[in-house]
Structure 1
Amino acid sequence: MLSKRHLIGLFAGLVLSASGAVAQEKTKIKFTLDWKYQGIHAFVFWAADKGYFANEGLDVEIDQGTGSAATVTRIVSGTYDAGLGDVNAIIQYAGTKPGDQPKMVYMLYNTAPFALIVKNSSPIKTLKDMEGRSMGTPPGGATGQLFPALAKLNGVDASKVSITNMAPNLQEQMLMNGQVDSSAIFSVTSYINLVGMKVDPDKDIRWFYFSDLGVDLYSNGVMVSAKLLAEKPKAVAGLVKALNRALIESAADPDAAIAGMMKVEPLMNAALEKQRLTYAFRQHFVTKETDENGMGDIKDDRMARSIKLLVDTYNLPNTPKVSDIFDRSAMPPKSERILKLAK
């Protein structure tokens, strides 16, 4: 029979083993990207490779996306806990089903990459010329979903524009082949894709940027489910901390960032994806506003104007508050969110 001393020792060992298992258990987070793998996603995998998620007690599973607006439905359905997606899709969801919407906890695109593109030879020279023409867009694409807001502000009858749904990877190809008259795109995706197709995006393509036509919106960032934010705020803070650090380090060393991304998707064109990453940083991520507030944050009055624009455009039954859409409680201090671009 075991002695009392042996029993005490055995019990102590079991307690230590159990406490060690609890200490090692990490919070699992299913994370969806906004699109198929691209260079702009390098910072997410940088956070994983460098152990930043693990350091915060997180086990993050990363999947490709199908559109930045689709991220909202993926999270609301419970399939994903967090991801990269469009804040305007959160506004639209909260305007119809308040309470269930995800919340943005870190803004990436301080200026939105929403644009319509047409061939330079196209008869579409003004937005009004879109009437009677076709527009291609992926079903989950935020740009296509926001077209009615652009149309309303610019006196265009959106009902006179026929919509052609297409796979994300066919947008530029179908435009150049004449299968659609225009395409509703993300500039960071299409600009570099066109370069890869040997098309000069500055000379061969006419661009209608939403931001130049009265639609001054924020765009994609890190969003989390309402459940995760309420029940595990420490995990959300850890997720944001890891991604923020990775983003800043990726900006400082884009070659290393893309090298890491190539391990995820070896078939990528490294040179094009580096160009895409640096384009996103310079054109959309880093602005005078981020210089003032740091990466990830927003201006509440600007967000309130965006909410009003979307509520008015889509006749939403509810008007969300800024706090219903954006939560900055998980963000690191501003001193840790200052981004310096590589020269």
Structure 2
Amino acid sequence: MFQRFTQICAAGAVLAAATAAGAETEVPFALDWKFEGPAAPYFVAVDKGYFTDAGLSVEIAAGQGSLDAIPKVATGAFPVGFADINSLIKFLDQNPGAPVIAVMMVYDKPPFAIVGRKSLGVEAPADLEGRVLGAPPPDGAWAQFPIFAAENDLDTDAITVEPVGFPTREPMLAQGEVAAVTGFSFSSYLNLVRLGVPEDDISTILMADHGVDLYGNAIIANTEWAAENAELLTGFLGAVVKGWADAIADPAAAIPSLIERNPAADAELETRRLQLAIDANVATDYALANGMGGIDADRMANAIEQIKLTYEFQNAPDMSLYFTDAYLPGAEMRMLK
């Protein structure tokens, strides 16, 4: 069924339509979310000519959640995107042979979190029992909640889960309609601050600090496009690293590139959001020591075992179907500092 859908989409797909514009090849890039602080490094790479230097003309499109880019890239509508690798693993299990794979890890430590309010009684995982948890169904953090619950021996029957939309998630928590929400740590936390919730009343429970050994979001690519454009993809990934390295060196200097695309954004707030993502998710000890983009095979194997705790694979898991380092620039080109 997926293969037939791909054929239907192919006529208008960027996979077939990505063409050279002068000396540059057009490469649309599908983000996972709105243009917020953590998107700034990609715009830095545009504005500083890093993509141009690699022979690319990159147009960046906003997304609607960490699962959003996966079908866009798998159908060829976008050659590259940014998505949660755990959701990608499940997608590939459910759609064997779909032409999509992760090619560079960005969130070495995932931002999946439970964000609650201390005044509503939520400071630790066990505090969720007997309370209402707001969770958007397409949310990447919600997708990992069963693993988090299993690792922390939570009685899920004692947790009332309220499906919420992304636009209403933090407002409902700010108004006390739910006691906590699932979300990305840097997004939900600062959205609550913007809504006037005192920072000392906000509790951020990072799943990665409570037994969840998963990876987070990665650059994903359409495998058919990648096979035909290997050098372009490596150039794209190298430009992404440069954008992130610049943002890590000076987060505030990266934000004007974001504000140019999202003038309604609060520069100070988005600088903080970017800094949170850098500190907690991107510039990890592993990434700083080994360069951005790679994975540890043992950790990935353990992550797959954790996914098995709450997800029944239809096919035997195969790490090589989910991630490849074949298109990464050399390690010396991926150092962040």
Q: TM-score if structure 1 supplies the norm length?
A: 0.85
Aligned to 2:5: none
Q: Say if 2:294 is the partner of 1:297.
A: yes
Helix, strand or coil at the partner of 1:27 = strand
TM-aligned CA deviation for residue 63 of structure 1: 0.8
Cα distance in structure 1, aligned partners of 2:258 and 2:89: 31
**Cα gap change, 1:321 to 1:199, in 2 (>3 Å):** same
Moved more, 246-255 or 191-200: 191-200
Aligned to 1:241: 238
**Structure of larger gyration radius:** 1
TM-aligned CA deviation for residue 128 of structure 1: 4.3
TM-aligned CA deviation for residue 185 of structure 1: 1.1
TM-aligned CA deviation for residue 243 of structure 1: 0.9
Cα distance in structure 1, aligned partners of 2:194 and 2:20: 49
Q: Say if 2:191 is the partner of 1:156.
A: no
Unaligned runs of 5+ in 1: 1-20
Cα distance in structure 1, aligned partners of 2:124 and 2:48: 47
TM-aligned CA deviation for residue 143 of structure 1: 0.3
* Conserved? CA contact 1:95–1:311, under 8 Å: no
AA at the equivalent of 1:233: A
Moved more, 242-251 or 96-105: 96-105
Moved over 6 A (4+): none
Q: CA RMSD in A?
A: 2.2
What are the superposed Cα offsets for residues 119-142 of structure 1, whole Å, 9 maximum, x if unpaired?
212245653453454322233210
* Conserved? CA contact 1:68–1:141, under 8 Å: yes
Q: Say if 2:268 is the partner of 1:276.
A: no
Cα distance in structure 1, aligned partners of 2:287 and 2:20: 39
Aligned to 2:84: 86
Give percent identity, aligned residues only.
Answer: 34
Which of the numbers 243, 252, 255 marks the counterpart of 2:252? 255
TM-aligned CA deviation for residue 272 of structure 1: 1.1
Aligned to 2:49: 51
Aligned to 2:207: 210
Cα distance in structure 1, aligned partners of 2:74 and 2:282: 26
Which of the numbers 34, 37, 54 marks the counterpart of 1:36? 34
Helix, strand or coil at the partner of 1:198 = coil
* Conserved? CA contact 2:136–2:163, under 8 Å: yes
AA at the equivalent of 1:331: L
Cα distance in structure 1, aligned partners of 2:309 and 2:254: 41
How many residues are aligned here? Answer: 319
TM-aligned CA deviation for residue 35 of structure 1: 0.8
What are the superposed Cα offsets for residues 33-56 of structure 1, whole Å, 9 maximum, x if unpaired?
111110111111111122222222
Equivalences for residues 124-135 of structure 1 within 5 A: 124=122, 126-131=124-129, 133-135=131-133
AA at the equivalent of 1:199: V
Equivalences for residues 1-343 of structure 1 within 5 A: 24=22, 26-100=24-98, 102-124=100-122, 126-131=124-129, 133-158=131-156, 161-201=159-199, 203-340=200-337
**Cα gap change, 1:157 to 1:271, in 2 (>3 Å):** same
AA at the equivalent of 1:59: S
Cα distance in structure 2, aligned partners of 1:260 and 1:23: 23
**Cα gap change, 1:23 to 1:254, in 2 (>3 Å):** closer
TM-aligned CA deviation for residue 291 of structure 1: 2.3
Unaligned runs of 5+ in 2: 1-18
AA at the equivalent of 1:168: F
* Conserved? CA contact 1:109–1:220, under 8 Å: yes
Cα distance in structure 1, aligned partners of 2:130 and 2:315: 32
Cα distance in structure 2, aligned partners of 1:69 and 1:277: 21
Moved more, 184-193 or 114-123: 114-123
**Cα gap change, 1:80 to 1:305, in 2 (>3 Å):** same
Aligned to 1:9: none
TM-aligned CA deviation for residue 23 of structure 1: 8.4
Aligned to 2:11: none
Helix, strand or coil at the partner of 2:220 = strand
Cα distance in structure 1, aligned partners of 2:20 and 2:192: 50
Cα distance in structure 1, aligned partners of 2:181 and 2:211: 19
What are the superposed Cα offsets for residues 59-102 of structure 1, whole Å, 9 maximum, x if unpaired?
32211111112221332233322111111111111233232152
**Cα gap change, 1:23 to 1:32, in 2 (>3 Å):** closer
Helix, strand or coil at the partner of 2:104 = strand
* Conserved? CA contact 2:174–2:192, under 8 Å: no
